Copies of this chain bind each other. A is one copy, B any other.
Amino acid sequence: MNDHSKPTLDDVARAAGVSTATVSRCLNSPDQVIAATRLRVMQAVETLGYTPDFGGRALASRRTNTVGAIIPTMDNAIFARGLQSFQETLSRFGKTLLVASSNYDPAREREQMEALAGRGADGLLLIGSARPDMSTDYLRRRGIPFVRAWNLGSGDGHFVGFDNRAAAAMLAERVIAYGHRRLSMIAGVTQMNDRAADRMAGVRDAARAAGIADADLPVIEAAYTFEDGARAMGELMARTPRPSVVMCGNDVLAVGAMQRARELGLAMPADVSITGFDDIDLARVVTPELTTVRVPHRRMGEAAAEMLIRLITKQPVETHVKIPTAIVERGTLGPPRD
Protein backbone atom coordinates (compact mmCIF):
# COMPACT_ATOMS: atom_id res chain seq x y z
CA MET A 1 0.00 0.00 0.00
CA ASN A 2 1.42 3.37 -0.87
CA ASP A 3 1.10 6.33 1.41
CA HIS A 4 -1.59 8.05 -0.56
CA SER A 5 -4.26 5.46 -1.06
CA LYS A 6 -6.36 4.15 1.66
CA PRO A 7 -5.61 0.82 3.25
CA THR A 8 -8.12 -1.99 2.85
CA LEU A 9 -9.03 -5.03 4.86
CA ASP A 10 -6.63 -6.89 2.70
CA ASP A 11 -3.74 -4.64 3.60
CA VAL A 12 -4.44 -5.10 7.27
CA ALA A 13 -4.80 -8.85 6.89
CA ARG A 14 -1.48 -9.10 5.11
CA ALA A 15 0.25 -6.87 7.67
CA ALA A 16 -1.11 -8.95 10.55
CA GLY A 17 -0.56 -12.26 8.81
CA VAL A 18 -4.18 -13.34 9.03
CA SER A 19 -7.12 -13.59 6.67
CA THR A 20 -9.51 -10.80 5.86
CA ALA A 21 -12.24 -12.68 7.63
CA THR A 22 -10.35 -12.51 10.88
CA VAL A 23 -9.74 -8.81 10.55
CA SER A 24 -13.43 -8.27 9.89
CA ARG A 25 -14.29 -10.28 12.97
CA CYS A 26 -11.86 -8.30 15.09
CA LEU A 27 -13.76 -5.19 14.16
CA ASN A 28 -17.29 -6.48 14.40
CA SER A 29 -17.33 -9.20 17.02
CA PRO A 30 -13.99 -9.07 18.80
CA ASP A 31 -14.85 -11.82 21.27
CA GLN A 32 -14.95 -14.38 18.53
CA VAL A 33 -11.24 -13.90 18.09
CA ILE A 34 -8.46 -15.02 20.41
CA ALA A 35 -6.71 -12.22 22.27
CA ALA A 36 -3.29 -12.74 20.73
CA THR A 37 -4.39 -12.46 17.12
CA ARG A 38 -6.74 -9.68 17.96
CA LEU A 39 -3.90 -7.66 19.41
CA ARG A 40 -1.80 -8.21 16.31
CA VAL A 41 -4.66 -7.18 14.07
CA MET A 42 -5.50 -4.07 16.04
CA GLN A 43 -1.85 -3.12 15.93
CA ALA A 44 -1.89 -3.32 12.16
CA VAL A 45 -5.14 -1.38 11.98
CA GLU A 46 -3.58 1.37 14.04
CA THR A 47 -0.29 1.68 12.20
CA LEU A 48 -1.91 1.55 8.80
CA GLY A 49 -4.56 4.08 9.78
CA TYR A 50 -7.24 1.77 8.52
CA THR A 51 -10.89 2.80 8.55
CA PRO A 52 -13.50 0.42 7.20
CA ASP A 53 -15.05 1.50 3.95
CA PHE A 54 -18.64 2.36 4.51
CA GLY A 55 -19.71 1.47 0.99
CA GLY A 56 -18.25 -1.97 1.07
CA ARG A 57 -19.57 -2.58 4.51
CA ALA A 58 -23.08 -1.45 3.62
CA LEU A 59 -23.02 -3.55 0.50
CA ALA A 60 -22.01 -6.68 2.29
CA SER A 61 -24.02 -6.34 5.45
CA ARG A 62 -27.10 -4.76 3.94
CA ARG A 63 -27.45 -2.28 6.75
CA THR A 64 -26.00 1.10 7.47
CA ASN A 65 -27.01 2.16 10.96
CA THR A 66 -27.65 5.53 9.46
CA VAL A 67 -30.70 7.69 9.66
CA GLY A 68 -31.33 10.84 7.70
CA ALA A 69 -33.05 14.09 8.52
CA ILE A 70 -34.23 16.63 6.00
CA ILE A 71 -34.78 20.04 7.50
CA PRO A 72 -35.90 23.22 5.74
CA THR A 73 -32.76 25.10 6.67
CA MET A 74 -29.79 24.80 8.94
CA ASP A 75 -29.78 28.53 9.49
CA ASN A 76 -32.42 28.39 12.15
CA ALA A 77 -32.06 28.04 15.86
CA ILE A 78 -35.26 26.05 16.20
CA PHE A 79 -34.34 23.11 14.05
CA ALA A 80 -30.80 23.20 15.35
CA ARG A 81 -31.87 22.53 18.89
CA GLY A 82 -34.34 19.78 18.13
CA LEU A 83 -31.92 18.15 15.75
CA GLN A 84 -29.17 18.19 18.30
CA SER A 85 -31.17 16.08 20.73
CA PHE A 86 -32.43 13.92 17.90
CA GLN A 87 -28.89 13.08 17.04
CA GLU A 88 -27.80 12.61 20.65
CA THR A 89 -30.54 10.07 21.16
CA LEU A 90 -29.68 8.36 17.91
CA SER A 91 -26.05 8.00 18.83
CA ARG A 92 -27.04 6.42 22.13
CA PHE A 93 -28.50 3.68 19.94
CA GLY A 94 -25.38 3.50 17.81
CA LYS A 95 -26.86 5.24 14.83
CA THR A 96 -25.34 7.99 12.76
CA LEU A 97 -27.27 11.01 11.59
CA LEU A 98 -27.05 12.42 8.10
CA VAL A 99 -28.49 15.90 7.76
CA ALA A 100 -29.71 17.46 4.55
CA SER A 101 -31.59 20.67 3.93
CA SER A 102 -34.40 21.35 1.50
CA ASN A 103 -34.47 25.13 1.61
CA TYR A 104 -38.26 24.92 2.00
CA ASP A 105 -38.48 23.50 -1.52
CA PRO A 106 -40.48 20.25 -1.96
CA ALA A 107 -38.59 19.33 -5.12
CA ARG A 108 -35.31 19.75 -3.36
CA GLU A 109 -36.66 17.76 -0.43
CA ARG A 110 -37.50 14.93 -2.75
CA GLU A 111 -33.99 14.98 -4.21
CA GLN A 112 -32.60 14.77 -0.71
CA MET A 113 -34.88 11.84 0.05
CA GLU A 114 -33.40 9.97 -2.84
CA ALA A 115 -29.89 10.96 -1.89
CA LEU A 116 -30.41 9.70 1.64
CA ALA A 117 -32.20 6.57 0.46
CA GLY A 118 -29.31 5.90 -1.87
CA ARG A 119 -26.91 6.34 0.99
CA GLY A 120 -28.79 3.58 2.73
CA ALA A 121 -30.60 5.54 5.40
CA ASP A 122 -32.52 3.09 7.57
CA GLY A 123 -35.10 5.76 8.36
CA LEU A 124 -35.87 9.41 7.81
CA LEU A 125 -36.96 12.41 9.82
CA LEU A 126 -39.06 14.96 7.97
CA ILE A 127 -40.31 18.32 9.16
CA GLY A 128 -44.07 18.84 9.05
CA SER A 129 -46.43 17.21 6.63
CA ALA A 130 -46.98 19.75 3.87
CA ARG A 131 -45.49 17.99 0.87
CA PRO A 132 -46.62 16.21 -2.29
CA ASP A 133 -47.95 12.68 -1.73
CA MET A 134 -45.47 11.52 -4.31
CA SER A 135 -42.67 12.15 -1.88
CA THR A 136 -44.04 10.05 0.94
CA ASP A 137 -45.15 7.41 -1.55
CA TYR A 138 -41.59 7.11 -2.67
CA LEU A 139 -40.45 6.34 0.85
CA ARG A 140 -43.22 3.82 1.40
CA ARG A 141 -42.42 2.05 -1.82
CA ARG A 142 -38.81 1.73 -0.79
CA GLY A 143 -39.88 0.54 2.62
CA ILE A 144 -38.03 3.32 4.38
CA PRO A 145 -39.75 4.23 7.64
CA PHE A 146 -40.14 7.91 8.36
CA VAL A 147 -41.33 10.18 11.11
CA ARG A 148 -42.76 13.63 10.62
CA ALA A 149 -41.99 16.08 13.38
CA TRP A 150 -42.59 19.62 14.54
CA ASN A 151 -46.28 19.27 13.85
CA LEU A 152 -49.06 16.77 14.30
CA GLY A 153 -50.46 15.38 11.06
CA SER A 154 -53.95 14.08 10.61
CA GLY A 155 -53.52 11.23 8.15
CA ASP A 156 -51.75 7.90 8.31
CA GLY A 157 -48.18 7.65 9.38
CA HIS A 158 -46.08 8.57 12.36
CA PHE A 159 -45.90 11.98 13.89
CA VAL A 160 -44.31 13.64 16.86
CA GLY A 161 -44.91 17.29 17.39
CA PHE A 162 -46.97 20.07 18.81
CA ASP A 163 -50.50 21.07 18.13
CA ASN A 164 -49.46 24.35 16.60
CA ARG A 165 -53.02 25.33 15.87
CA ALA A 166 -54.31 24.74 19.37
CA ALA A 167 -51.30 26.46 20.94
CA ALA A 168 -51.74 29.53 18.76
CA ALA A 169 -55.45 29.58 19.54
CA MET A 170 -54.78 29.38 23.23
CA LEU A 171 -52.37 32.28 23.09
CA ALA A 172 -54.88 34.29 21.06
CA GLU A 173 -57.53 33.58 23.66
CA ARG A 174 -55.23 34.91 26.31
CA VAL A 175 -54.65 38.02 24.23
CA ILE A 176 -58.36 38.52 23.83
CA ALA A 177 -58.88 37.99 27.54
CA TYR A 178 -56.62 41.00 28.10
CA GLY A 179 -59.25 43.01 26.28
CA HIS A 180 -57.71 43.22 22.85
CA ARG A 181 -60.10 43.42 19.89
CA ARG A 182 -57.90 44.87 17.17
CA LEU A 183 -55.76 41.78 16.60
CA SER A 184 -53.22 41.43 13.83
CA MET A 185 -50.68 38.84 12.85
CA ILE A 186 -47.29 38.51 11.26
CA ALA A 187 -47.32 34.90 10.12
CA GLY A 188 -44.49 32.81 8.76
CA VAL A 189 -44.78 31.93 5.09
CA THR A 190 -47.59 29.36 5.00
CA GLN A 191 -46.84 28.00 1.54
CA MET A 192 -45.61 24.42 2.04
CA ASN A 193 -45.23 25.06 5.75
CA ASP A 194 -47.95 23.57 7.86
CA ARG A 195 -46.51 24.89 11.12
CA ALA A 196 -46.92 28.46 9.91
CA ALA A 197 -50.34 27.72 8.41
CA ASP A 198 -51.57 26.05 11.60
CA ARG A 199 -50.43 28.89 13.78
CA MET A 200 -52.30 31.30 11.57
CA ALA A 201 -55.40 29.14 11.62
CA GLY A 202 -55.25 28.91 15.40
CA VAL A 203 -55.23 32.66 15.82
CA ARG A 204 -58.15 32.95 13.42
CA ASP A 205 -60.04 30.23 15.31
CA ALA A 206 -59.84 32.15 18.55
CA ALA A 207 -60.60 35.47 16.92
CA ARG A 208 -63.72 34.14 15.23
CA ALA A 209 -64.85 32.56 18.46
CA ALA A 210 -64.62 36.02 19.98
CA GLY A 211 -66.66 37.51 17.19
CA ILE A 212 -63.78 39.04 15.26
CA ALA A 213 -64.23 38.55 11.52
CA ASP A 214 -61.29 37.44 9.38
CA ALA A 215 -61.54 40.74 7.52
CA ASP A 216 -60.84 42.58 10.74
CA LEU A 217 -57.73 40.57 11.45
CA PRO A 218 -54.97 41.73 9.13
CA VAL A 219 -52.31 39.08 8.51
CA ILE A 220 -49.00 39.61 6.77
CA GLU A 221 -46.83 36.67 5.84
CA ALA A 222 -43.12 37.21 6.30
CA ALA A 223 -39.98 35.17 5.81
CA TYR A 224 -37.86 34.10 8.74
CA THR A 225 -35.73 37.20 9.43
CA PHE A 226 -35.69 40.19 11.74
CA GLU A 227 -35.91 42.49 8.71
CA ASP A 228 -39.06 40.87 7.38
CA GLY A 229 -40.66 41.05 10.79
CA ALA A 230 -39.78 44.72 11.07
CA ARG A 231 -41.12 45.49 7.61
CA ALA A 232 -44.41 43.74 8.30
CA MET A 233 -44.68 45.60 11.60
CA GLY A 234 -44.29 48.87 9.73
CA GLU A 235 -47.16 48.00 7.42
CA LEU A 236 -49.38 46.88 10.25
CA MET A 237 -48.78 50.00 12.32
CA ALA A 238 -49.66 52.20 9.34
CA ARG A 239 -53.19 50.78 9.19
CA THR A 240 -56.31 52.46 10.49
CA PRO A 241 -57.45 51.45 12.94
CA ARG A 242 -54.05 50.55 14.28
CA PRO A 243 -53.91 47.03 15.75
CA SER A 244 -53.47 46.93 19.50
CA VAL A 245 -51.63 43.64 19.37
CA VAL A 246 -49.39 41.88 16.86
CA MET A 247 -49.20 38.13 17.17
CA CYS A 248 -46.13 36.73 15.43
CA GLY A 249 -45.64 33.30 13.91
CA ASN A 250 -42.28 32.90 15.61
CA ASP A 251 -39.92 34.67 17.97
CA VAL A 252 -37.62 35.96 15.27
CA LEU A 253 -40.44 37.81 13.56
CA ALA A 254 -41.61 39.07 16.93
CA VAL A 255 -38.22 40.50 17.77
CA GLY A 256 -38.05 42.17 14.37
CA ALA A 257 -41.47 43.65 15.09
CA MET A 258 -40.32 44.87 18.49
CA GLN A 259 -37.38 46.57 16.91
CA ARG A 260 -39.63 48.48 14.51
CA ALA A 261 -42.07 49.32 17.27
CA ARG A 262 -39.26 50.93 19.19
CA GLU A 263 -38.16 52.90 16.14
CA LEU A 264 -41.73 54.12 15.79
CA GLY A 265 -41.69 55.28 19.37
CA LEU A 266 -44.33 52.78 20.43
CA ALA A 267 -44.09 51.51 23.99
CA MET A 268 -44.66 47.82 24.67
CA PRO A 269 -47.10 46.69 25.84
CA ALA A 270 -48.77 50.06 26.50
CA ASP A 271 -49.01 51.20 22.87
CA VAL A 272 -48.87 47.81 21.27
CA SER A 273 -48.62 44.24 22.53
CA ILE A 274 -46.48 41.68 20.74
CA THR A 275 -46.37 37.89 21.06
CA GLY A 276 -43.99 35.33 19.66
CA PHE A 277 -43.84 31.57 19.26
CA ASP A 278 -41.12 28.99 20.08
CA ASP A 279 -39.44 30.57 23.10
CA ILE A 280 -35.92 30.57 21.75
CA ASP A 281 -33.15 32.12 23.86
CA LEU A 282 -33.71 35.40 22.12
CA ALA A 283 -37.07 35.84 23.80
CA ARG A 284 -35.49 36.52 27.15
CA VAL A 285 -32.86 38.86 25.79
CA VAL A 286 -35.06 41.59 24.39
CA THR A 287 -36.59 44.37 26.46
CA PRO A 288 -39.24 43.91 27.56
CA GLU A 289 -38.94 40.15 27.48
CA LEU A 290 -41.15 38.46 24.94
CA THR A 291 -44.42 36.74 25.74
CA THR A 292 -44.41 33.58 23.67
CA VAL A 293 -45.24 29.88 23.46
CA ARG A 294 -42.74 27.45 24.85
CA VAL A 295 -42.03 24.53 22.60
CA PRO A 296 -39.85 21.76 24.06
CA HIS A 297 -37.67 21.13 21.05
CA ARG A 298 -35.18 18.92 22.78
CA ARG A 299 -37.87 16.68 24.12
CA MET A 300 -39.37 16.44 20.67
CA GLY A 301 -36.09 15.55 19.04
CA GLU A 302 -35.67 12.80 21.57
CA ALA A 303 -39.18 11.46 21.07
CA ALA A 304 -38.73 11.52 17.31
CA ALA A 305 -35.51 9.54 17.53
CA GLU A 306 -37.09 6.94 19.75
CA MET A 307 -40.08 6.63 17.49
CA LEU A 308 -37.94 6.22 14.43
CA ILE A 309 -35.79 3.58 16.06
CA ARG A 310 -38.84 1.59 17.09
CA LEU A 311 -40.08 1.85 13.56
CA ILE A 312 -36.79 0.68 12.12
CA THR A 313 -36.55 -2.22 14.51
CA LYS A 314 -40.20 -3.04 13.94
CA GLN A 315 -41.20 -2.65 17.55
CA PRO A 316 -44.70 -1.53 18.40
CA VAL A 317 -44.96 2.22 18.30
CA GLU A 318 -47.47 5.01 18.74
CA THR A 319 -48.49 6.87 15.62
CA HIS A 320 -49.09 10.31 17.09
CA VAL A 321 -46.98 11.63 19.92
CA LYS A 322 -48.06 15.02 21.09
CA ILE A 323 -45.53 17.21 22.84
CA PRO A 324 -47.18 19.75 25.14
CA THR A 325 -46.65 23.46 24.74
CA ALA A 326 -47.12 26.25 27.26
CA ILE A 327 -47.74 29.93 27.18
CA VAL A 328 -44.99 31.90 28.88
CA GLU A 329 -46.12 35.36 29.78
CA ARG A 330 -43.42 37.96 29.99
CA GLY A 331 -43.41 41.65 29.29
CA THR A 332 -44.71 42.27 25.79
CA LEU A 333 -48.33 41.40 26.34
CA GLY A 334 -50.59 43.62 28.39
CA PRO A 335 -54.02 45.21 28.24
CA PRO A 336 -54.64 47.64 25.40
CA ARG A 337 -54.45 51.33 26.25
CA ASP A 338 -58.02 52.17 25.23
Residues of A within 8 A of B (CB): 3-6, 49, 51-59, 64, 73-77, 80-81, 83-84, 87, 96, 98-99, 101, 114-115, 117-120, 138, 141-143, 225-226, 255-256, 259, 262, 281-282, 284-287
Q: Is there an interface contact between A6 and B143, defined as CB atoms closer than 8 Å?
A: yes
Nearest CB on B from A16, distance (A): 18
Task: Evaluate whether A284 and B226 lie within 8 angstroms (CB atoms) in the complex, with A77-B77, A138-B49, A143-B5 already known.
Answer: yes
- Whether the Cβ atoms of A83 and B74 lie closer than 8 Å is yes
Inter-chain CA distance A335–B64, complex, in Å, is: 60
User: Which B residues are CB-close (under 8 A) to A138?
Assistant: 49
5 A-B pairs (CB sep. < 8 Å): A6-B142, A55-B56, A73-B84, A74-B99, A259-B285
B120 and A54 contact, CB distance less than 8 A: yes
Alpha-carbon distance A73/B80, docked complex (angstroms) = 9
Q: Determine whether the beta carbon of B287 is less than 8 Å from that of A262.
A: yes
User: Which residues from B are CB-within-8-Å of A98?
Assistant: 98
In the complex, A285→B251 CA distance in Å?
Answer: 12
Q: Which of B77, B115, B226 contacts A285 (CB 8 A)?
A: B226
Residue contact A115 to B96, C-beta cutoff 8 Å: yes
A141 near B75: Cβ-Cβ < 8 Å: no
With beta carbons under 8 angstroms apart, the residue of B4, B55, B256 that contacts A54 is B55
Q: How far apart are A77's CB and chain B's nearest CB, in angstroms?
A: 7
Please indicate the chain B residues that have their CB under 8 angstroms from the CB of A99 in the complex: 74, 99
- Chain B hits for A143, CB < 8 A: 3-6
Residues of B near A256 (CB, < 8 A) are 285
Q: Give every chain B residue within 8 A of A83 (Cβ-Cβ).
A: 74
Q: A52 is contacted by which of B52, B59, B75, B118 (Cβ under 8 Å)?
A: B118
Give A46 to B24 CA distance when docked, in angstroms: 37
Is there an interface contact between B74 and A74, defined as CB atoms closer than 8 Å? yes
* Given pairs A75-B81, A80-B80, 4 additional interface contacts (CB within 8 A): A49-B141, A76-B80, A282-B282, A285-B286
Complex alpha-carbon distance, A199 and B101, angstroms: 32
How far, in Å, is A101 (CB) from chain B's closest CB?
8
Shortest Cβ-Cβ A-B pairs, 10 listed: A55-B55, A4-B143, A55-B58, A54-B118, A54-B119, A49-B141, A51-B114, A51-B118, A55-B59, A75-B80
Q: How far, in Å, is A336 (CB) from chain B's closest CB?
A: 24
Nearest chain B residue, comparing its CB with the CB of A99: B99
CB distance from A289 to the nearest CB of B (A): 10
Query: B residues within 8 A CB of A74?
Result: 74, 80, 83-84, 99
Q: Which residue of B lies closest to A137 (CB)?
A: B49
Q: Which residue of B lies closest to A49 (CB)?
A: B141
A117: chain B residues at CB < 8 Å are 6, 51
Cα separation A26 to B73 with both chains bound (whole Å)? 32
List residues of chain B with CB within 8 A of the CB of A259: 284-285
For A77, the chain B residues whose CB sits under 8 A away are 75, 77
* Bound: A6/B121 CA distance, A: 12
Minimum Cβ distance to chain B for residue A290 (Å)? 11
CA distance A84 to B117 in the complex (A): 22
Q: Which residues of B contact A4 (CB under 8 A)?
A: 143
Nearest-CB residue, chain B, relative to A141: B49
Q: Roughly how many angstroms separate A81 CA and B115 CA in the complex, as a whole number?
A: 23
